[in-house]
Amino acid sequence: MDLSVSVRQCEICGVEYDSASLPDVCPICADERQYLAEDRRQRWVDPADYTGRIEVLPAEPGLWSVRVGGGPGIDQQAKVIVTEAGNVMVEVPASMTNDAVEAVRALGPLRAIIASHPHMYGLQSLWSRALGDAVVYVSSLDREWLGLTPASVAFWDGEIELVPGVVASQPGGHFPGSSVVHWAGEDGAGVLLTGDTVAVNPDGESLAFMRSYPNRIPLSSSVVLRIADHLERYEFDRIYGNFGRAITHDASARLRSSAQRHAAWARGDYDELTGPG
């Protein structure tokens, strides 16, 4: 594992920073969408100190999950899409081991790394360097949140094809540049990787749309419907979130119904169900 880059990471969110210019407090955690340590003390950790285990496991044909055990950060799961034109890592682990790098390398050449939003930046510079300087795609609208700019960075807006058949776009919402990644899947039915733009609920059947998930800040009805309209450009049967949950069938219809439900509650359509006041 190449740790020659001078990197430290926030213990709470796991995002990488240049150790030569560490801020007094991690701005990602100080933002209303995230949170600071309970004692409000900022702690920076060295990625080289991680001693846990990272597993690279199949999610479905052509799609793999990278699951990190312990360590800094919020425990996001990266996904690796495997294609004949090269592979794409969606979301970035906040830890790294030699074994995990070798397991991802064994899936084929990695062409692109993309985080859906700043909470998912993880150790994107180190993963890129370890995997042949894969291009790290960062939404232009969210570049201000970079604590360390990867050497192989590409800023982008709108929609971009990462490799043939794998497309990213920016519906926004959670962050201005919040992104999703679409892939047809080996069966052609369509897969959408949504990050926190759209989150799979614990029931496995519905989805949530939030400015902040841990701090329970909702998005407006108009923004939620805008996101749903944006995603209708894609055909997809399955949705994978970034924390291990998935909707395994009828995902497009479930996304639309979830957006309509959110919008209705936000408009006050069901206020009579909340009690007399």
Return per-residue pLDDT of the chain as tens, 277 residues. Answer: 555 458 999 999 999 999 999 999 999 999 999 999 999 999 999 999 999 999 999 999 999 999 999 999 999 999 999 999 999 999 999 999 999 999 999 999 999 999 999 999 999 999 999 999 999 999 999 999 999 999 999 999 999 999 999 999 999 999 999 999 999 999 999 999 999 999 999 999 999 999 999 999 999 999 999 999 999 999 999 999 999 999 999 999 999 999 999 999 999 999 999 998 7
Q: Read off φ and ψ for residue 131, nearest 5 degrees.
A: -115, 50
Domain coordinates in residue numbering, the chain: 7-272
Superfamily grouping for domain 7-272: Ribonuclease Z/Hydroxyacylglutathione hydrolase-like (3.60.15.10)
Q: Indicate the residue type of 215.
A: N
Residue 57's pLDDT is: 98
Residue 6's pLDDT is: 87
Residue 236's pLDDT is: 98
Q: How many helices (DSSP H) and strands (DSSP E) are in the chain?
A: 5, 20
Residue 277's pLDDT is: 75
- Cα gap 190→186, rounded to integer Å: 8
The owner of tokens 């793999």 is 64
Work out whether strand 238-240 and strand 246-247 pair parallel, antiparallel, or are unpaired.
Answer: antiparallel
* Per-residue tokens: 222: 């108009």
3-state secondary structure of 106: helix
Asked if 89 contacts 76 with a C-beta cutoff of 8 angstroms, the reply is no
- Cα gap 179→194, rounded to integer Å: 7
Residue 262's pLDDT is: 98
* Per-residue tokens: 58: 């199949």
Residue 5's pLDDT is: 56
Confidence (pTM):
0.96
The rounded Cα 16 to chain-centroid distance in angstroms is: 15
Q: Which helix (H) or strand (E) holds 147?
A: none
Partners of 193 in the β-ladder: 181, 240
- Cα gap 262→267, rounded to integer Å: 9
Asked if 54 contacts 99 with a C-beta cutoff of 8 angstroms, the reply is yes
